[in-house]
Amino acid sequence: MSDSEKHVPQPAEVVSTPGADVLVPQSTIATTATPPTTPAELELSGVVQVSERQQARRENWRLIRRRPGFIIGVFIVLVWSVCAALGDRITPHSPLDYRAGTHLSPRAKFPFGTDEQGRDVLSRVMAGARDVMKVAPSAALLGVVFGVIVGMVMGYFGGWIDLVLGRIVEAFLALPVTLLALLAATTLGSSTTVVIGVVAALFTPVVARTVRSAVVAERDLDYVTSAKLRGESSAFVMFKEILPNVSGPIIVELTVRIGYAVFTVATLSFLGVGPQPPSPDWGAQVSEGFRSISASIWWTTFFPAAAIASLVIAVNLIADSVQSVVEAS
Amino acid sequence: MGRYVLRRLASAVVTLWILATIVFVMVNVLPGNVGRRVLGPFALEEDVVRYNHAIGTDRPLISQYLTSIRRVFTLNFGDSYQTGSSVNKIILPALFRSGKLALLAFVITIPISIAAGIFAARRRDKVADRVVVNAGLATTSIPDFVTAAVLMSIFCVHWKLGKVFADPPPGSSVVGQLPYLLTPALALVVAYFGYIARMSRAGVIYGLQADYARTATMKGLSKGAVMRKHILRNALAPTITVISVQVGYLFGGIIGVEKVFNYHGLGSTIINAITSHDIPVLQGAVLLVGIVYMVSTLLADVLIAFLNPRVRLETSR
């Protein structure tokens, strides 16, 4: 057993362990049929394969929808999506209006109180959803796409490519994502694009490792061998043959990564990397407000902090439901 | 055993080298002139040039790279751009302060979360189990700085149980430091409880179903004895790994907590170095976090190999 194969549980995997063994059923279905020889038969077998896979997917989707955690999670995400999409069109006050009087405690007109500049905290929390709802999913999606490509190459080709990339992946995992992101964002600036790119780049090694182990389990199965014998290109075998069969752990990884992206983006903006004042943002709001806690002014910190917590927990509830159904199938 | 440790050590050295390269690349993407940034916009051009020459930023990248790699392996990170004192004099005391906080957090977290894991595993799929699992999922997913801010408003402001600033006055005794350190440590406990509890729960559930547990039960051992002597010993291995990984990550997650409680540990040192563009301190502090991670995972692997002969045999082949 080489060192790169050694399994070190990462936080992501403790919450989610998308194992490679999960996926055997679908691929065996695909290969037990008589091996196709003519192009027409190939076409036909492809159709059968897809419909069976679709059926399994529909069944999984039905099971996921019935889980209470999923329903609660989706509801919370929907609420924040509406806030993000409509922004100051639905907030009770303008998130930038400072004429209310500073540090008013929560009351009927300002349910979450006002901040140190006299702005309505509720309006700022609602409008603050926009940035995180844009940045976190984009970063996670991009990170998963890169991670799938790298992990696929590592698992499919093996050998020295796997060894070298494996060592680099391992080195990346020795440092917390927040720390590396902080380092990169200070040298590259803190625009939205940079945050998305940096978080995506730092998620790539983690995703690559998961995908790699799933691909290694598929690599020597008959359908891969037969595709190679047919003379298909490596890219075709990797992305047309293997990819559909490892979609389970990839989808799980994506949902888990979105949760981590919300976490990371909020932490970065708390530390000053992200949208700059006065634009409303949850992490930045906590960072502006927490110094007044010692003066018993808790609402400027508590509500944006609760907003971050609710979104992360909601995404994780969805991820957890998806994971348990995918792993049980 | 000796060969196993040597192999692990060799691979840690390679990882450290790659890590140092990653950090070097990231830091040197920095556009602009270090001397100009440190001395300010009003400094004379010849002073800037002299400064750059003194600290070596005018040398070719490859020679700067070799210096930075040599510094990592001699654990000598050079001098701070900002204060001129040795980087080690800045980052080692900071590591010690963060370590104090981390130690307190782990002393509280480890027994609580392992106990919760066993408790949940014994009541698998019952209400108590669901509560532990979901509470663990929820608390771990909240960013540490959020927990820190909320705990601060409850414990330190509302109930006045702790201090708002975590730095104890100099010279205070171990007990005297507790009111300062307890609330920030609790924020870390909340953040790391879930991982360890879920891992030990999974380990115990696996152990409860294993043949050796059934044999031990049929031999007539009491439930407690089966748990202590057979299941826990096996369930502990993945839990130890998770704890060791958490030790490394804690020094990254601690940044937010340190900022909220205004604590002068490694996290605030990193933030400081970033705002003042103090590259040697930044490089040293970030690599120190990586070294802590590698040492703790190395120790965990050796400990597991020591506990379980099968791991030893498999890896030394």
Report for A118-122, A129-133, B136-140: range of highest mean pLDDT: A129-133
pLDDT of residue B315: 54
Closest chain A residue to B199 measured between Cα atoms?
Answer: A14
For the beta carbon of residue A277, count every other beta carbon within 10 angstroms.
Answer: 11
pLDDT of residue A2: 41
In chain B, the percentage of residues whose pLDDT exceeds 70 is 92
Mutation pick from A2, A8, A14, A172 vs chain B, by most beta carbons of B within 10 Å, is A14
pLDDT of residue A254: 92
Whether the predicted pLDDT of B205 surpasses 60: yes
Whether the predicted pLDDT of A328 surpasses 70: yes
- The ipTM value here is 0.81
pLDDT of residue B38: 67
Whole-number Cα distances in Å, B213 to A182, B173, B201? 47, 47, 16
Give the bridge partners for B79, in sequence order: B86
Nearest to A132 by CA among A233, A275, A299: A275
pLDDT of residue A11: 41
Q: At what angle do helices A68-86 and A299-328 cross, to 10 degrees?
A: 130
Q: How far is B171 from chain A (nearest CA, A)?
A: 25
B153 vs A167, A180, A302: nearest CB: A302
Closest chain B residue to A310 measured between Cα atoms?
Answer: B142
Non-local (6+) Cβ contacts of A160 within 8 A are none
Categorize the per-residue pLDDT at A47 as very low, low, confident or very high, splitting at 50, 70 and 90: low
B141 vs A6, A263, A286: nearest CB: A263
pLDDT of residue A38: 54
Torsion of CA B50, B54, B60, B62, to 10 degrees: -170
pLDDT of residue A196: 92
Torsion of CA B253, B255, B261, B262, to 10 degrees: 170
**DSSP 8-state code for residue A11:** H
- Helix (H, G, I), strand (E, B), or coil: what is residue B83? coil
- Helix (H, G, I), strand (E, B), or coil: what is residue A120? strand
Cα–Cα distance, A47 to A55 (Å, whole number): 12
Q: Does A125 touch chain B (CB under 8 A)?
A: no
Q: DSSP secondary structure string, A201-260?
A: HHHHHHHHHHHHHHHHHHHTSHHHHHHHHTT--HHHIIIIIIHHHTHHHHHHHHHHHHHH
The answer to whether A47 and A33 are in contact (CB under 8 A) is no
Categorize the per-residue pLDDT at A81 as very low, low, confident or very high, splitting at 50, 70 and 90: very high
Lowest-confidence region among A127-131, B30-34, B126-130, B226-230: B30-34
**DSSP 8-state code for residue A293:** G
pLDDT of residue A215: 92
- Average pLDDT score, chain B: 82
User: What is the average per-residue pLDDT within A224-240?
Assistant: 90
Nearest to A226 by CA among A217, A237, A215: A237
- The pTM of the full predicted model, rounded to 2 decimals, is 0.80
The answer to whether A147 and A119 are in contact (CB under 8 A) is no
* Cα-based angle B14, B19, B24 (whole degrees, multiple of 5): 130
Contact A298 B27 (CB under 8 A): no
- Phi and psi dihedrals of B92, rounded to 5? -70, -45
How many Cα neighbours within 13 Å face the side chain of B260? Answer: 36
For the beta carbon of residue B169, count every other beta carbon within 10 angstroms.
Answer: 8
Residues of A in contact with B191 (CB under 8 A): none
User: What is the average per-residue pLDDT within B94-117?
Assistant: 91
Lowest-confidence region among A288-292, B70-74, B162-166, B230-234: B162-166
For chain A, positions 129-148, list CB contacts with chain B under 8 A.
Answer: none
Report for A12-21, A86-95, B221-230, B290-299: range of highest mean pLDDT: B290-299
A183 vs B149, B286, B293: nearest CB: B286
The answer to whether A297 and A285 are in contact (CB under 8 A) is no
User: What is the average per-residue pLDDT within A73-91?
Assistant: 90
* Cα-based angle B116, B138, B147 (whole degrees, multiple of 5): 100
pLDDT of residue A78: 95
Cα–Cα distance, B38 to B317 (Å, whole number): 53
For chain A, positions 160-199, list CB contacts with chain B under 8 A.
Answer: 167-168, 170-172, 174-180, 182-184, 186-188
pLDDT of residue B57: 73
B286 vs A175, A290, A306: nearest CB: A175
The answer to whether A273 and A181 are in contact (CB under 8 A) is yes
Nearest to B92 by CA among B265, B273, B308, B268: B265
Whether the predicted pLDDT of B175 surpasses 60: yes
Whole-number Cα distances in Å, B88 to A71, A104, B91, B272? 52, 46, 5, 15
Lowest-confidence region among A236-240, B19-23, B228-232: B228-232
Report for A207-216, B6-15, B134-143, B307-316: range of highest mean pLDDT: A207-216
The answer to whether B287 and B72 are in contact (CB under 8 A) is yes
Helical segments of chain B, H only: 2-28, 34-39, 45-55, 61-73, 87-122, 127-141, 144-151, 174-209, 211-218, 223-225, 232-260, 266-275, 279-307, 309-316
Whether the predicted pLDDT of B96 surpasses 80: yes
Torsion of CA A242, A247, A253, A254, to 10 degrees: 120
- Phi and psi dihedrals of B79, rounded to 5? -110, 150
Whether the predicted pLDDT of A136 surpasses 70: yes
Lowest-confidence region among A13-27, A39-53, A56-70, B136-150: A13-27
Closest chain A residue to B164 measured between Cα atoms?
Answer: A294
Closest chain B residue to A321 measured between Cα atoms?
Answer: B134
pLDDT of residue B26: 79
Categorize the per-residue pLDDT at A30 as very low, low, confident or very high, splitting at 50, 70 and 90: very low
Give the bridge partners for A120, in sequence order: A114
Categorize the per-residue pLDDT at B11 as very low, low, confident or very high, splitting at 50, 70 and 90: confident
Lowest-confidence region among A200-204, A285-289, B31-35, B164-168: B31-35
Q: How far is B120 from chain A (nearest CA, A)?
A: 16
Q: Does A267 touch chain B (CB under 8 A)?
A: yes
Whether the predicted pLDDT of B30 surpasses 80: no
Closest chain B residue to A285 measured between Cα atoms?
Answer: B146
Contact A293 B149 (CB under 8 A): yes
Q: How far is A255 from chain B (nearest CA, A)?
A: 13
In chain B, the percentage of residues whose pLDDT exceeds 90 is 6
pLDDT of residue A29: 43
